[in-house]
Amino acid sequence: MSKQSDLNLKTYQPTCSIEALKARAKLYQTIRTFFAERDVLEVETPIISQAGVTDVHLASVRALRHIEGEECIQYLQTSPEFAMKRLLASGSGPIYQICKVFRDDEHGRKHNSEFTMLEWYRPEFDLKDLMHETADLLHSCLYHRFDEIRPMILSYKHAFQDRLDINPLQANLKQLKDTARRVGLTLDLGEDRLAYMDLLFSHFVEPSLGFDTPVFLTDFPPEMASLAKVRIDDDGEQVAARFEVYIEGLELANAYDELLDAQTLRQRFEADNLERKQQGLAEMPLDEHLLAALPHMPACSGIALGIDRLLMIATENMRIDQVIAFPAAIA
């Protein structure tokens, strides 16, 4: 057999085992049963849209298609959030979706540019209610690995202070740079304060989270609010009303107390596009449908959870290619 034939033989096969495929099917069944018992409606929305995500840290995959004979540049979704909020504004009630999402050129041990997301929204739930429901779902999906899911709630600020002795809500650019140098991180990120914060977090905070018990990390810096509300914490500091879930150093989910102010969201989108322009990135068209829907949305909390990462934890696999059939390199 030639080397080329041998290569073709190897690359036609999935990178995950058949057992991982079966574990995924079982996980989907568990999730659907969980939400059916709670009267949360499963929905489906388009994965391609005329609007892309403005967040400078996310890159949308562009797609060219024709609508009524006209050639259009559109974007594969990074999340079903915008479309699902249009359903909420139309009276859907509590909803969830399991779908494919795309983030351009994100590849590695924990990343693939095409991955599977579970996203759900709960009208009238606050973040504490959503934490309880998330813990219940994790117990349903991971009971074979963990006898009991009792998450620890930890603020972003205290996680930084415990590990790096610095308050990220108050630290200026120089203090963050000095801290990075002190712990041996010499990467030059220019004048980007949030980039230094993220560098420190990814190297010294995130890897330590969720080993004794899952961690719900709360109260992020207000600059990281994205589509969440901003509130005042117990120390009188502004924080983003959101939380992330960590298990064994792996970010699993991201939740918001959803922003309902269309004008504020438009300003955030426009600020993102200004920063994209300054960084030489393409400006993204805003989702005017979402902005029109926002004033009609009920107060709610929502969460996006990475199915592939949950499967990594459930099956005790360290790499995402061990739980998906065909990663981008061989898709």
Closest CA to 20 of 313, 330, 270, 331: 313
DSSP per position, 142-166: HTTT-S---PEEEEHHHHHHHHHS-
Nearest alpha-carbon partner for 302 in 212, 242, 223: 242
**Statement: residue 168 has pLDDT above 90:** yes
Residue 204 belongs to a domain:
no
Q: At residue 5, does pLDDT exceed 50?
A: no
Residue with tokens 């961690």: 215
Q: pLDDT value at position 3?
A: 52
Task: Give mean pLDDT, residues 231-246.
Answer: 94
Percentage of the chain lying above the pLDDT 90 cut: 86
Confidence of residue 212 (pLDDT cuts 50, 70, 90): confident
Is it the case that residue 7 has pLDDT exceeding 50? no
pLDDT, averaged across the chain: 93
pLDDT of residue 148: 79
Chain segment 23-69, per-residue pLDDT in tens: 999 999 999 999 999 999 999 999 999 998 999 889 999 999 999 99
Q: Does residue 291 fall inside a structural domain?
A: yes
**Is residue 188 a part of any domain in this protein?**
no
Cα distance between residue 182 and residue 165, in whole Å:
11
Q: Is 275 exposed, middle or buried (0-12, 13-18, 19+ CB in 10 A)?
A: middle
Indicate whether 315 belongs to any domain.
Answer: yes
Residue % of the chain over a pLDDT of 70: 97
Q: Please report whether residue 183 resides in a domain.
A: no
| pLDDT mean over 283-291 | 96
pLDDT at 185 over 70: yes
Domain CATH number, residue 145: 3.30.930.10
Tell me what the mean pLDDT of segment 129-134 comes to: 97
Predicted confidence (pLDDT) at residue 322 exceeds the cutoff of 50? yes
Residue 192 confidence (pLDDT) = 87
Q: Tell me, yes or no, whether 203 lies in a domain.
A: no
Query: What confidence score (pLDDT) does residue 147 get?
Result: 77
Say if 101 falls within a structural domain: yes
**Model confidence band, residue 8 (pLDDT cutoffs 50, 70, 90):** low
Beta bridge partners of 115: 101
How do strand 41-42 and strand 95-102 relate by DSSP bridges?
Answer: parallel
274, pLDDT greater than 60 = yes
User: In terms of DSSP H, where are the helices of 81-172?
Assistant: 81-89, 127-142, 156-164
Domain holding 294, by residue range, is 12-150+261-330
**Is 255 domain-assigned?**
no
Q: How confident is residue 10, by pLDDT bands cut at 50, 70 and 90?
A: low
**Tens-place pLDDT, residues 97-118:** 999 999 998 889 999 999 999 9
* Tally of domains within the chain: 1
